[in-house]
């Protein structure tokens, strides 16, 4: 992706094309010049921008609520969704193996690349400009932020529902694990006794699969 193309997608014009190219280069494409260091920097910059914004916006939220709001905005799935909205995956430099396995669609690669891009923008400009870009990219996510009970993850909500009714806690079990170590897919079952319900969830981590399974049971319970 060149600077003009990036400008059309995000509204930001890179001055140093080399930073943009590095941000879009995955380790599988180049071990010596890739986006891992920029990802590290971008993660910190993004967390600061989001923290500052929600601190000023949600004036009645306590520390716990603010932490949960931030977590919902900077988690892998949210970053990957933002990256998909600007078709970032189409422009990431990937090695042959990652290309064949559809790495340009993988949430981990997309989220890492987005953080690297944010880090690159910070180095290419200043805090004020990268903040403007982040606010534009995350506009939809920020507008849809939930507060209160809506911030709690599905596993927590399901557990609290059962505890309030003095029922047994849900049982989670790994049903299968497929794929190589760097791109595994977990399938997990979640079962409750009263009412007797079970659901399967899948994800690139056990935690993600458990959360999906718990959400399916919440949907069954209409919660």
Instruction: List residues with catalytic annotation.
Output: 43, 115
End-to-end CA distance of the chain: 44
DSSP 92: -
Q: What are phi and psi of 119, to 5 degrees?
A: -65, -40
Query: DSSP for 162-217?
Result: HHHTT-PPPEEEEEEEES-GGG-EEEEEEEETTTTEEEEEEESSHHHHHHHHHHHH
Supply 5's token pair. Answer: 């193309």
Q: How many helices (H) and strands (E) does the chain have?
A: 11, 3
- From 107, 71, 82, select the one nearest 204 (Cα to Cα): 107
Neighbours of 136 (CB within 10 A): 11
């Amino acid at each position: 992706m060149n600077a003009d193309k990036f400008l059309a997608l995000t509204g930001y014009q890179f001055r140093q094309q080399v930073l943009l190219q590095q941000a879009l280069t995955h380790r599988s494409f180049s071990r010596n010049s890739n986006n891992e260091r920029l990802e590290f920097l971008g993660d910190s910059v993004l967390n600061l921008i989001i923290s500052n914004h929600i601190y000023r916006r949600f004036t009645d939220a306590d520390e716990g609520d603010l932490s949960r709001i931030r977590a919902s905005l900077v988690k892998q799935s949210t970053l990957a969704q933002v990256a998909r909205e600007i078709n970032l995956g189409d422009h990431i430099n990937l090695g042959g193996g990652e290309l064949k396995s559809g790495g340009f669609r993988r949430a981990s690669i997309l989220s890492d690349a987005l953080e690297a891009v944010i880090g690159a923008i910070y180095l290419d400009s200043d805090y004020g400009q990268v903040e403007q870009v982040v606010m534009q990219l995350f506009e939809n996510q920020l507008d849809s932020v939930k507060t209160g009970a809506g911030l709690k993850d599905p596993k927590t909500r399901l557990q609290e529902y059962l505890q309030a009714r003095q029922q047994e806690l849900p049982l989670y079990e790994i049903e299968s694990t497929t794929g190589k170590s760097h791109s595994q897919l977990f399938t997990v079952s979640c079962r409750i006794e009263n009412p007797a319900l079970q659901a399967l969830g899948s994800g690139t981590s056990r935690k993600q699969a458990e959360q999906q399974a718990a959400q399916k049971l919440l949907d069954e319970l209409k919660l």
